[in-house]
C-alpha cells in the first residue's frame, strides 16, 4: 500500500509566456518515496519543483502539502544574504535547533564547503554547494532538489548518495547524472508534453519504460493519423535508435580499451622513445615524467602517458586536485616544471566552451551553423543540409530561423555542440561538458563522440558518461599522484589502489587490485559467472513469454470492468517483468563482453 502523501498535486495547470506548461498534472509523493523527476530540457521540471515548493503559484488546480511538515528546496540559483556561509546554512535548522552548530559543520565538511567564508566572492558551484548544505542540515520531511550534483566532484557526489540513502522523508530530485539517479531513486516521475507519468521503478528502468510508451503511442497514433505518427517518430526516433545501437557500441568500446591496454603496458618500458617511429602520424600526445607544482602544492609528479589517434581519455579527480592543470600540461598550454610533452603534427583542436562565448546571441540558429553561406553544413568534410543536421540535434524545424538568444540554456548547448562537432578537428577537448546538459543532449553527445574519428580528452564527474565512452581514465588523486587505468570509471574503481583519496576505502574491505598494467592474467569467467551466463537466455525467454501473455490478457477491453483488481495485479506484474527482462539482457551483455575480453586476452 502506498504511503499517505506528504505532497500532492491535482489537475495542476501552469502557463509560461502565454503557452501551457502543464495541463492537468496530478501525482503524489509519500514519506519514504524517492522520486526522480525526468523530462526533456524545457519541459518544465524546475517549474514543477517550484510549484511543490510553493514558489510558483498554480493558474488552476490544487497543491496539497501535509500540515506541519518541514520542507526544504534546493534551487538552481540560490541567493545568500548572511555574513558567512555557515550562518546561512544554519537557517536550515528550525529555531529551536539553531544552537546545534555541529550539524552545520558536519554537512559543510561532507560537501567540502568552508563555513567561515563570506558569500560575496563565491563561485556558482560553491554557492550551490552551500545551498545543498542548507537544504540537508535540517533533516526535512520533504526534500526537493534541482540538479544537486552540478559542479560537485565525484567524492562529494558519493557522499551525497550515501546521505540520501539513509534519508527517511519524501524526496523529489532533478538531475542529469544517470548513475546518481539510478542509485538514489525508487520511483520515477516523467514530465512529458505537459503531463506527469509515474512508475514504481527507479531511474534504472526508465529507458525501457520510455521506449515502451513511445512504441505504444506510435502504434495508436498510426491507426488514427499517419502523418501525426510520422512526426512523433521523428521527434523520438533518436532515443530508440541509440538504445538499439548500444550493444555494438559497447563491443567496439571494449575493443578500443583492449588496444589502449596494450599501449599502456608498453608505456612502462624504458624503450618508450624507440616506439615513436612505429606510430608516425598517429601520435597525438607523448608525455614523459611530467611534474608541476604551485608553491608547496604538488599537482603532478613523474607522470607519463602516450595518447594516440582515436583514444578517448577521461580525466577524473576531486575538485582542486589539478585536472585542468594536467589538461593544460598535456596540450602544451601549461609548461611543466620538469619532464617533456611532445605533440603530434597537424593537430586541429576544438574545445567545448560552457560559457557559450562562441555563439552570437543575435544570429539565427541557421546562420550560426552555415556562417551565413547557403543552406549546407560541412560535417567532417561531408555536406549536410542544415535542417537535417538540426534535427540530429533534436531541434524542431520552426527553430531554424529563431535567434540564438531565444533558445534555452540546454538548446544553446546543443547548438554549440552541433557547431563544434561539424568543423574539422582531430583533437577534441571537453572540460566538464555534462554540467547543465539534459539527458537527451547527453545521449546525443555520447553518440557523436562515439562516432568521432579523432582523439578526445574529457574532464567529467559523470560516471555513466565515462563508462559509456572513454577507453582509459587518468585519475588525478591529489598531492601529485596521477595514474592511468584502462576502461571507464567502473574499471578505475575496480583496479585503483584501496587508499585512493577520491573514494575512502572501507576498513574491512580487501585490498584492491593493482593498476591495469600489473594485474594478473585471468583467462576465463568464474564458475558463478559462467553458470549465470548459461542460465540467462532461458530466463529471458521465460520473461518474454510471460510478458506476451500478460499483454494479451490486458488487451481484453472488458477486463478492467470485469476484474479491476486483476487488471491492477497484471499491470503491476507487467512492469516488474519488463524491468526484470531489461536487467537480464543488460547482465547477459555484461557477462558476454567480459567472456569475450578474457578469451581475447588468452589468445
pLDDT tens for each residue of 103-115: 999 999 888 888 8
pLDDT at residue 247 in the model? 63
> In whole angstroms, what separates CA 517 from the centre of its chain?
28
Enclosing H/E stretch for 292: strand 283-294
Helices (H) and strands (E) in the chain, counts: 19, 20
Distance of CA 451 to the CA centre of its chain: 19
Contact 257, 472 (CB under 8 A): yes
Within 8 A by CB and 6+ apart from 456, the residues are 311, 312, 313, 428, 430, 449, 469, 470
For residues 271 and 332, is the Cβ–Cβ distance under 8 A?
Answer: no
Higher pLDDT, 281 or 9: 9
Which residues are CB-contacts of 22 (< 8 A; sequence separation ≥ 6)?
12, 13, 14, 44, 47, 48, 194, 195
212, 256, 455, 469 from 310: Cα distances, Å? 35, 9, 5, 12
Beta bridge pairs of residue 294? 297
Burial class (CB in 10 A: 0-12, 13-18, 19+), 106: middle
Q: Please give the annotated binding residues, written as ranges.
A: 39-46, 317-324
Lookup result for grid cell 559543520: 105
Alpha carbons 271 and 261: distance in angstroms, whole number: 17
Cβ 92 vs Cβ 135: under 8 Å: yes
CA distance linking residue 60 with residue 381, whole number of Å: 52
Distances (CA, A) of 285 to 232, 420, 457: 45, 21, 11
Quick check: 505 pLDDT over 60? Answer: no
CA distances from 433 to 37, 95, 140 (A): 22, 41, 32
- What local confidence, expressed as pLDDT, does residue 29 receive? 95
- Stronger pLDDT, 442 or 340, i.e. the higher one: 340
Element (DSSP H or E) covering residue 526: none
Question: Which ranges constitute the DSSP H helices of 146-245?
Answer: 154-165, 178-184, 206-224, 226-244
Percent of the chain residues past pLDDT 90, beyond the cut:
33
74: helix, strand or coil:
strand
Reply yes or no on whether the pLDDT at 558 is more than 80: no
Spatial distance between the Cα atoms of 158 and 295, rounded to a whole number of angstroms: 30
d(CA 239, CA 105): 44
What is the pLDDT, as a whole number, of residue 242?
54
The residue assigned the cell 538540426 is: 390
Q: Are 154 and 318 in contact (CB under 8 A)?
A: yes
Higher pLDDT, 420 or 228: 420
Model confidence at 312: pLDDT above 90: yes
The band of 185, judged by pLDDT with boundaries at 50, 70 and 90, is: very high
The pLDDT assigned to 259 comes to 64
Q: pTM of whole model > 0.95?
A: no
Query: Could you give the C-alpha distances from 280 to 284, 285, 308, in angstroms and in order?
Result: 10, 12, 10
**Mean per-residue pLDDT, 47-70:** 93
- Using an 8 Å Cβ cutoff, are 314 and 305 in contact? no
Please name which of 440, 437, 446, 453 lies closest in space to residue 468, comparing C-alpha atoms: 446
Annotated binding residues for ATP, written as ranges, equal 39-46, 317-324
Taking only the tens place, the pLDDT of each residue in 202-218 is 999 998 998 888 888 77
Mean pLDDT of the chain: 81
Cross-strand bridge partners of residue 476: 482
Element (H, E) at 288: strand 283-294
Q: What is the pLDDT of residues 440-476, one digit of tens each?
A: 778 778 887 888 888 999 998 899 999 989 999 999 9
List CB contacts of 402: < 8 A, sequence separation 6 or more. 364, 365
- The 8-class DSSP code of residue 272 comes to G
What confidence tier does 163 reach under pLDDT thresholds 50, 70, 90? very high
pLDDT recorded at residue 409: 66
Give the pLDDT confidence score for residue 502 in this predicted structure.
41
Single out the residue of 462, 455, 440, 212 nearest to residue 344, CA to CA: 455
CA-CA distance, 84 to 108, in Å (whole number)? 12
First-to-final CA distance of the chain: 55
- pLDDT number for residue 80: 84
Amino acid at each position: 500500500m502506498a504511503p499517505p502523501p506528504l505532497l500532492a498535486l491535482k489537475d495542476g495547470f501552469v502557463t509560461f509566456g502565454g503557452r501551457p506548461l502543464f495541463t492537468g498534472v496530478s501525482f503524489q509523493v509519500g514519506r519514504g518515496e524517492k522520486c526522480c523527476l525526468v523530462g526533456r530540457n524545457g519541459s518544465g521540471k524546475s517549474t514543477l519543483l517550484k510549484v511543490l515548493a510553493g514558489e510558483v503559484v498554480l493558474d488552476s488546480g490544487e497543491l496539497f502539502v501535509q500540515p506541519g511538515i518541514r520542507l526544504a528546496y534546493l534551487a538552481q540559483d540560490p541567493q545568500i544574504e548572511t555574513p558567512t556561509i555557515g550562518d546561512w546554512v544554519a537557517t536550515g535548522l528550525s529555531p529551536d535547533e539553531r544552537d546545534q552548530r555541529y550539524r552545520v559543520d558536519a554537512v559543510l565538511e561532507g560537501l567540502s564547503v568552508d563555513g567561515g567564508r563570506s558569500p560575496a566572492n563565491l563561485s556558482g558551484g560553491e554557492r550551490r554547494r552551500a545551498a545543498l548544505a542548507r537544504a540537508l542540515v535540517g533533516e526535512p520531511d520533504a526534500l526537493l532538489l534541482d540538479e544537486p550534483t552540478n559542479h560537485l566532484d565525484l567524492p562529494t557526489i558519493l557522499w551525497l548518495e550515501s546521505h540520501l540513502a539513509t534519508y527517511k522523508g519524501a524526496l523529489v530530485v532533478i538531475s542529469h547524472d544517470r548513475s546518481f539517479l539510478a542509485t538514489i531513486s525508487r520511483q520515477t516521475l516523467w514530465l512529458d508534453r505537459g503531463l506527469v507519468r509515474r512508475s514504481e521503478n527507479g531511474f534504472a528502468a526508465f529507458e525501457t519504460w520510455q521506449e515502451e510508451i513511445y512504441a505504444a503511442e506510435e502504434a495508436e497514433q498510426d491507426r488514427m493519423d499517419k502523418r501525426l505518427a510520422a512526426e512523433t517518430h521523428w521527434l523520438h526516433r533518436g532515443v530508440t535508435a541509440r538504445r538499439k545501437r548500444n550493444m555494438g557500441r559497447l563491443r567496439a568500446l571494449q575493443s578500443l580499451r583492449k588496444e589502449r591496454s596494450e599501449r599502456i603496458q608498453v608505456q612502462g618500458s624504458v624503450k618508450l622513445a624507440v616506439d615513436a617511429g612505429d606510430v608516425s602520424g598517429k601520435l597525438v600526445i607523448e608525455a614523459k615524467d611530467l611534474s608541476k607544482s604551485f608553491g608547496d602544492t604538488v599537482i603532478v609528479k613523474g607522470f607519463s602517458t602516450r595518447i594516440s589517434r582515436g583514444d578517448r581519455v577521461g580525466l577524473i579527480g576531486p575538485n582542486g586536485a589539478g585536472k585542468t592543470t594536467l589538461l593544460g600540461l598535456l596540450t602544451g598550454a601549461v609548461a611543466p616544471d620538469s619532464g617533456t610533452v611532445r605533440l603530434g603534427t597537424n593537430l586541429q583542436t576544438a574545445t567545448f566552451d560552457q560559457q557559450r562565448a562562441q555563439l552570437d546571441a543575435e544570429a539565427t540558429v541557421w546562420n550560426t551553423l552555415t556562417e551565413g553561406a547557403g543552406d549546407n553544413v560541412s560535417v567532417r568534410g561531408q555536406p549536410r543540409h542544415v535542417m537535417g543536421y538540426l534535427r540530429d540535434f533534436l531541434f524542431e524545424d520552426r527553430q531554424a530561423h529563431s535567434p540564438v538568444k531565444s533558445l534555452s540554456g540546454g538548446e544553446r548547448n546543443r547548438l554549440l555542440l552541433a557547431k563544434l562537432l561539424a568543423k574539422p578537428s582531430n583533437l577534441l577537448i571537453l572540460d566538464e561538458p555534462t554540467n547543465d546538459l539534459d539527458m537527451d543532449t547527453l545521449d546525443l553527445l555520447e553518440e557523436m563522440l562515439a562516432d568521432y574519428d579523432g582523439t578526445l580528452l574529457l574532464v567529467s564527474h559523470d560516471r555513466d558518461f565515462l563508462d559509456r565512452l572513454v577507453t582509459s581514465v587518468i585519475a588525478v588523486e591529489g598531492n601529485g599522484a596521477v595514474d592511468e587505468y584502462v576502461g571507464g570509471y567502473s574499471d578505475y574503481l575496480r583496479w585503483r589502489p584501496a587508499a585512493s583519496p577520491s573514494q575512502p576505502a572501507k576498513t574491512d574491505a580487501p585490498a584492491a587490485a593493482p593498476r591495469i598494467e600489473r594485474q594478473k592474467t585471468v583467462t576465463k569467467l568464474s564458475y558463478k559467472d559462467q553458470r549465470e551466463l548459461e542460465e540467462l537466455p532461458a530466463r529471458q525467454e521465460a520473461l518474454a513469454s510471460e510478458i506476451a501473455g500478460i499483454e494479451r490478457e490486458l488487451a481484453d477491453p472488458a477486463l478492467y470492468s470485469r476484474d479491476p483488481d486483476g487488471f491492477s495485479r497484471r499491470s503491476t506484474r507487467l512492469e516488474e517483468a519488463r524491468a526484470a527482462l531489461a536487467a537480464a539482457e543488460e547482465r547477459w551483455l555484461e557477462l558476454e563482453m567480459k567472456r569475450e575480453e578474457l578469451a581475447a586476452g588468452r589468445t
